Structure 1
Amino acid sequence: MSLGERLLQARPPEKPTLPALKPILAATERVLQRWPDVVPNPPERDREQLVLRMKAHLDQNRWDGVQMSLVSAAARALFDEVRRQRSDLAGLRTFYLEEIRASTSTTFLGAMISVYLESFVPNAPHTRDLAEALHEIRHRMGARWRMLIDSVPEILRPDAAPDAIARKMVGMKNPCADLKELGLRSPHAPGLMDFAHLAYVARLEPHLSARVELDRLFAWLKPDGQASARMSGASEAIDAVLGHWRTSNPSDDDLSFLTQSLVGLYDDPRVQRGGAWAGVASDRLAVIMRWLTGENIRFFMDVVSAVEDSHMWEPRRRFWLKLHAQRRIDAAWVAFSPSGALYARRMLASRGTRGVLNYGRQSAGGARVNTSLLILKSGSKIIVEGSHSYKVHIFRDADPRAPTLYQQEYDCERIRLTPGAEAKAHLGDWQSWVEERI
């Protein structure tokens, strides 16, 4: 057989199989999530010494053995809020700016643009100085940073960068993921992204009565896989969400969605007085307190209606929700019996809202072991409603013996025996009796 015949009979070589890219991409993403930037973030206790070491090298013009990790970490400390205006470090800051203009190291230049982004304050002298130096050598940046500058040309303009990023974010379906694609590997990092966040919220605010925009904002505040919600600028975001509802209410579905979303992100403002809620405007805070009051009344009625078989609960639901709709109920809190708490946990889990609606515990035993309480504030009065034939009790808010809202534990027998309250069984026209006293 000739060589030609053998070649005709030979099987064509099999095409090589390309490796699966998904595991490689996933591994890359995990690395970038854990170490998003090359710039070390030194603890505060080490920062002063890092800067002084770099200053000593500069003063002595001695650079043998100086590693890029020291140069980068010292830069982050040098331009932080504590040191960026110190006059004794002016020479070291000038040295870094000159090195930016002279360097061809993409590692160093990448570190310095990271420092610029993190220390960003609109139109501050250090921000302008870094921006000018980086703008001059932008063509020498690594590929990641050139892509970012090409996508957001204003990134090196201290007067325009935050709003330029915000405009980009408004057009993104998933701002956190899409910003990472542009090269901003830490979209919740401090500095420039704090100001971009505020500009983004301001642009969204007129449209935050729409569910699609709310979904986008909430996904930005706490992206999938992130342990906690963004704290910087959180008060402004909450203000923007609640500002639409100072004089009206959304639909029941939207009200529950908004309440559960905000409490899920930033905890219950009735029990978490600090954090994001500390900076929320009082008129906006009043909105969610009003919503939580209604949610707690409905929550209480749903649970006790299920655990206590009585025809009385539907009229009671209508009565208390009527007072709430009339803005006569200022606040509400629930304390469930053990059986009520068990049912409440199951109900919240079935709704996917476990941990969103908070409540206390009713601890009395004996004949009152199954009693659950609804504690209400109406003007200058504290009202205690209860299940299992518990009378309505009304205290003066100024009475130091009156129960206070938002406690973790209540004893319904102790409340019943506390002097100073008016009490009424749910007989006859008890609703008018309540309305006359609040």
Structure 2
Amino acid sequence: MTFRAAFNTSKSRLPLLTEPTAVVRLLSQLSSMPTGETARPAVDLNTVAERFVHQLSRGREPTVGDWNKIIWCIWSTEPAIAEHSDALEGVLARVAQMRRKRPYRQLASVYLAEFAPDRPRLDRISYVLSSFAPVAGEPWTGLNARYDMFNGTGPIVQMARAALGKQMNVQAFLQAIGLSNSVAGSEFAAFMHGEGLKILRGTPITAAPERLDTIRRWCLGPDDKLLFPVWGKEMARALTLPFGDMIPAQADRDLISGFLTKRFGDPRIDRASWIGLDDVSDILKRWLTEQSLRQFFDVVDRIAPDGAWKYRRKFWLAFHAHRLIRNAWVVFGDDGAAEARRAFGREALFGVFDRAGRKSIQQGHAVLLLDFGQCIVADWSYDGFCNIWANGSSAKTPGLNLASYSSNDVRRPLPTDRTEQNLRQHDIFGHGGSENYVWQNRVARRLQELTGVRVQQSEYTVR
């Protein structure tokens, strides 16, 4: 039987294949070869592919040994058989004419192991696998009938949906439908995992804990490590981007922020880990900014009780609501650091004071550092000032997200003349008159000059 006849006898209508004369005479030999499980040969497949193509180009018959291995050379070798028409048609014709399990299973194994939607001649190979699945035996016959799994990317998306619907990850789903552990780690499985993340990214948010549970189940193994590390960044997007401009509840923000910072680090500090994830880090930094604001005020409320804190909290949260604060960082003394770890956990991130600097650090001292883009603000606790450094200022501007600071790092030098007017000229503001919004209005006007955004008193009025 010729190659063309083999294809024409298929129940499915299959496009005709070119008939390479060099391989026709080998089919009688190949048809008598034993069937069985397939595995990638432990030989130099580049050499096999090169020899195979060379023999066909000379009109010679490749050896039986090369025929047995050539399917593994379709995509991943140099040369790749899929890029040589005569060689590929001969390989596919072998699957069609032999009507044996082994060559089909070899081709199916290669398809799954090396799948990518842009593989050369993928449609041709997909068609052969779909058409001849009935002669392949289980699990291939049943899988092709139920999922049409060799028909390109569409069925993979549907399989991902099915797995998500069953609350199973890719590996568990593929094993449940009869595929081996080796397939669970294949490129086919990785692509299916990525398609699942796209589905999740487009799924509306219900509740943050439920979303996180779904992501954990889809992305993490029993050891809490990523099943497909290459998709780690898309995992972060699927978890975070559906929130968009929403501001989740405090507990939900902390839950998701904790999960992501554990794997990628704090985007305010470990910037290298967030390269290519600006969309996610922007959302997370907004949440972490609010977390730092809350951390500062919750802690100073305990270590330095003062009725004025409610005014400062309301004031800075009003600027945060306008998305003016790009970053926030807290610096604590020993007492504040101990309280922050007690309240927010041992992994809470903040800076601490060292012993250097002109201003000695007393109990209850803490500083809230805020980055407005056009300026940096350092707002001290109870007996300190609010300091502002405009961009281009000749004075050294504090850096955010450092582990330690001297008092000099986060305060402007006080002038000899400490009248309110002179202090304001040095961008230093006292905290007098909180109840009447005296200092708040002064600072708000200065920040409006620098940012161009006016925050109304009504937005930071305590009611």
What is the TM-score normalised by the length of structure 2? 0.66
Q: Which of 246, 249, 260 in structure 2 is aligned with 1:251?
A: 249
Could you tell me which residue of structure 2 aligns to residue 31 of structure 1? Answer: none
1:363 maps onto 2:351 in alignment = no
Residue 426 of structure 1 aligns with an amino acid whose one-letter code is H
Aligned Cα RMSD in Å?
4.2
CA deviations on 1:389-426 (whole Å, 9 max, x unpaired) are: 34321111344721233334433323325699622343
Residue of structure 2 equivalent to 1:9: none
Task: Select between 229-238 and 256-265 the one with higher mean Cα deviation.
Answer: 229-238
1:358/1:190 Cα in 2 relative to 1: closer, same or farther (>3 Å)? farther
Deviation at 1:293, TM superposition (A): 1.1
Q: What's the offset of the Cα at 1:324?
A: 1.5
**Alignment partner, residue 312 of structure 2:** 316
Task: Identify which of 163, 166, 173 aligns with 1:178.
Answer: 173
User: Which residue is equivalent to 1:290?
Assistant: 286
Which residue among 121, 127, 137 is the counterpart of 2:122? Answer: 127
Unaligned ranges ≥5, structure 1: 1-36
- Read off the aligned partner of 2:266 and give its amino acid letter: D
Residue 269 of structure 1 contacts residue 277 of structure 1 at CA under 8 Å; is this kept in 2? no
1:154-173 matches, cutoff 5 A? 154-173=148-167
Q: Distance between the aligned counterparts of 2:274 and 2:113, measured in 1? A: 21
Report the Cα offset of residue 257 of structure 1: 3.0
Aligned residue type for 2:252:
D
- Relative distance call for 1:187 and 1:40 in structure 2 (3 A) is closer
Residue 174 and residue 161 in structure 1: after superposition, are their counterparts in 2 closer, same or farther (change >3 A)?
A: same
User: Cα–Cα, structure 1 residues 129 and 337, in superposed 2: closer, same or farther, change >3 Å?
Assistant: farther
Amino acid at match of 1:120: F
Residue 80 of structure 1: how far off its partner (Å): 3.6
CA distance in 1, matches of 2:353, 2:183: 44
Is residue 395 of structure 1 aligned with residue 389 of structure 2?
Answer: yes
Deviation at 1:100, TM superposition (A): 4.5
Distance verdict in 2 for CA 1:41–1:331, change over 3 Å: farther
Q: Helix, strand or coil for the counterpart of 1:373?
A: strand
Q: Distance in 1 between matches of 2:54 and 2:373?
A: 69
Q: 1:412 aligns with which of 384, 407, 416?
A: 407
Matched to 1:431, the amino acid is: Q
Q: What is the deviation of 1:227?
A: 1.9
1:377 corresponds to which of 360, 371, 386: 371
**1:166 corresponds to which letter in structure 2?**
A
Contact 1:229–1:265 (CA under 8 A) maintained in structure 2: no
Write the deviation string for residues 206-226 of structure 1: whole angstroms up to 9, x where unpaired.
533112345313431334424
Higher CA-based Rg: 2
Structure 2: gaps spanning 5 or more residues? 1-36, 56-61, 415-424, 448-463
State the alpha-carbon separation in 1 of the partners of residues 288 and 385 from structure 2: 24
CA distance in 2, matches of 1:215, 1:198: 17
Alpha carbons of structure 1 residues 262 and 318: separation in structure 2 relative to 1, 3 Å: same
Task: Count residues in correspondence.
Answer: 382
Shift of 1:294: 0.6
| 1:155 Cα deviation after fit | 0.8
Q: Which residue number corresponds to residue 422 of structure 1?
A: 427
Deviation at 1:275, TM superposition (A): 5.1
TM-superposition CA deviations, 1:39-97 (whole Å, max 9, x none): 6699xxxx9x5412453377574566x898xx49x92x75249864885x666655654
Aligned to 2:21: none
Q: Deviations over 1:118-168 (max 9, x none)?
A: 43233643322332333344345464555544552x211015223222331
Structure 1 counterpart of 2:446, one-letter code: R
1:115 is aligned to: 110
1:25 aligned partner: none
